[in-house]
Structure 1
Amino acid sequence: MNDYIKELERLIGQLTTAEQQDVVEYYREYLMDAGLETYQQAVDELGTPRSLARKILADYSIRVSEQNNQESQQASRSTVQATKSNVRTVWLIVLALLSTPVTIPILIVVAALLFAMVAVLGSLVVAAFAVFLSVIAIGVAGCVAGLFVIWQMPWTGLFYLGMGLFALGASLIAWLILKWIGSKVVWGLSWLAQEIYRRFIPRSRAERGRKL
């Protein structure tokens, strides 16, 4: 049992010290109360330490992601932080699903759907980014042309300068819109991954009884 707990503690090193202690104490007490003394008995009851650790990390990441999303909506935390948290959550959920053989066929189907979705979104992002760069180039060219011409033909120079500034302003607005859309797409993927995780990941009696 001690070997199992030590290996589990090593694998959940990404958690804070307090969280690690909470997890270790819970599962140590659970194994002791259940009279499971050997490593194999612990594996039969809880699964391998790696599989259990990945589910624990995914659970904590989901909780942090939910907190970050709520704080982001309340404007107390940046959307960048929430997006990073969502990306990390998706990754940990994928690892947890891969560590459970029962969920691998489901994961393959979901991965195919996600790949198709990401491919479509990726092509749209590339196209939008190309347009974004083109608008910036037009804006810079307009400003430069306006500054050169304004001394000889003031009205023409002001026209080019105005068009250039308008293009740069439009590109800034477009960047903010793309950034917002990107954060929502990542949030959507995180939500989908969490729903799949909650619905299909098998839980032992010990995991069902533990509260974060």
Structure 2
Amino acid sequence: MTEPQKYINDLAAYLSPLAAKDRDDALEFYDEYIADAGLNTRKAIEEKLGTPRQLGHKILADYSIKVNDKAAKKGPASAKSSWRVFWWVLVAIITSPITLGLGIAVLAVLIGIGAAALGLIIGIIAMIGSIAVIAVVALYAGVTLLIVEPFSGLFYLGIGLTLIGLFLICVPLSYWLIRLIAQGIANFAKFLYNRIQARREAK
């Protein structure tokens, strides 16, 4: 097995998250690229493209960005798609051969923003959960008090029903807000990633 073939085989191992067709297309592209560039040794290939691990993570980041951009044309992409962008960009930056100072700064910013967004999302979910729990407790209290204290029972039933209505309104709004937050994080990650790639290409 030649060194270019060994490199492509090693690269394939890092592209397992991709669908078979997308993985084959990427491998075919880089196989042809290596051949056209006349890169016959492992050292020459890695000087141009990086290690299979680095290139694999770059391909996954690029692919997740492409999918997210396509989905975001009709509004915020799914939270799963946006967080996938954040994750693969983070991994690509960690394994990318960039300067130590720049890498640490970018990672610190990404992790900080990601942690803040995750905390906000958890807070939203906790708030929705609290509304649901209080609504159930109020309804239970209202039903149990109806016989002994009808007015108090009706009061708690009213609170419970109001909270259920609020819950039904908040669930879709929260879902949309979470998608919006995740898309914002993905867009910021893409911005940093593109800046790093532009800096690498300028060298």
**Shorter-normalised TM range:** 0.7 to 0.9
1:168 to partner: Cα distance: 2.4
2-structure distance, mates of 1:158, 1:121 = 40
SS at match of 2:93: helix
Correspondence for 1:53 among 49, 53, 56: 56
TM-score norm. by structure 2 comes to 0.81
Alignment match, 2:20 = 17
1:121 to partner: Cα distance: 4.9
1:58 to partner: Cα distance: 0.8
Alignment match, 2:174 = 178
Alignment match, 1:210 = none
Alignment match, 1:160 = 156
TM-score norm. by structure 1 comes to 0.78
Identity %: 33
Alignment match, 1:208 = none
Label 1:68 to 1:171 Cα distance change in 2 as closer, same or farther (>3 A): same
Alignment match, 1:150 = 146
Q: Which runs of 5+ in 2 are unaligned?
A: none
1:42 to partner: Cα distance: 1.3
SS at match of 1:101: coil
2-structure distance, mates of 1:154, 1:45 = 79
1-structure distance, mates of 2:29, 2:114 = 39
Alignment match, 1:38 = 41
2-structure distance, mates of 1:21, 1:135 = 49
Supply the RMSD in Å over aligned alpha carbons.
2.7
Q: Which runs of 5+ in 1 are unaligned?
A: 74-78, 205-212
Alignment match, 2:136 = 140
User: Contact between 1:136 and 1:167, CA under 8 Å: does it hold in 2?
Assistant: yes
Label 1:107 to 1:192 Cα distance change in 2 as closer, same or farther (>3 A): farther
1:193 to partner: Cα distance: 0.5
1:105 to partner: Cα distance: 2.6
2-structure distance, mates of 1:186, 1:48 = 30
